[in-house]
Amino acid sequence: MTAPPPGDSRPHVELHTDGACSGNPGPGGWAFILKHAATGKERVGSGAEPDTTNNRMELRAAIEGLSLLKRATIVDLYSDSKYVLDGLKSWIHGWKKKGWKTADKKPVKNQELWMQLDALSSKHEIRFHWIKGHNEHPENERCDRLAVEAREQLVRNARA
């Protein structure tokens, strides 16, 4: 994590996210770990949906984590999802200019989630960090476990 510039009074956090899906579509889970840089305190969240895709769960994890931030913040966003990172870094600007259409003039998939993520991220300075998934990165592995646990709990509850 890179420190904010001297004199910058904004809070600084790390946001680690992951999504998991069994089948695509199928039952899915998401999870995040939000760490405050100065204090080391963290908040963890996870959830699940019965009929979703992995991309939707990756987006949901970032949305849920960012939604906890109440004021402008420097956010180091760590994800193994190039879909989320590339979408936020570059694709989203073109989609918005084209009325939420892709280069092929087709509607952007998961538009409602992208719009939520755009609104949340516009309040913050986001710094993007891609992490190779399932590569022993502690927070990424933890998010993966939490997302899978949330999905599995949903499946168990549906069977009960």
H or E segment and range at residue 128: strand 125-130
Q: pLDDT (tens digit, 9 = 90+) per residue, 4-33?
A: 566 788 999 999 999 999 988 999 999 999
> Which structure tokens are listed for 58?
């990756």
Q: Which CATH superfamily is domain 12-159 in?
A: Ribonuclease H-like superfamily/Ribonuclease H (3.30.420.10)
Residue 18 annotated as catalytic: yes
Give the residue from 91, 78, 147 showing the smallest Cα distance to 118: 91
Answering whether pTM is above 0.95, one says: no
Mean per-residue pLDDT, 68-77 = 97
**Annotated catalytic residue: which of 23, 86, 93, 134?**
134
* Confidence at residue 135, expressed as pLDDT on a 0 to 100 scale: 83
pLDDT of the residue at 133? 81
Query: Can 141 be counted among the known catalytic residues?
Result: no
Catalytic site residue from 14, 58, 64, 76: 58
Q: For residues 57 and 85, is the Cβ–Cβ distance under 8 A?
A: no
Q: Which of 64, 76, 139, 144 is catalytic?
A: 144
Query: Catalytic annotation on 144?
Result: yes
Q: Is 80 a catalytic residue?
A: yes
28 is catalytic: no
Digit-coded pLDDT (tens) for 87-129: 999 999 999 999 999 989 999 999 999 999 999 999 999 999 9
Helix then strand count (H, E) for the chain reads 5, 5
Per-residue pLDDT of 141-154, as tens digits, reads 999 999 999 999 99
Q: Which helix (DSSP H) or strand (DSSP E) does residue 151 occupy?
A: helix 138-159
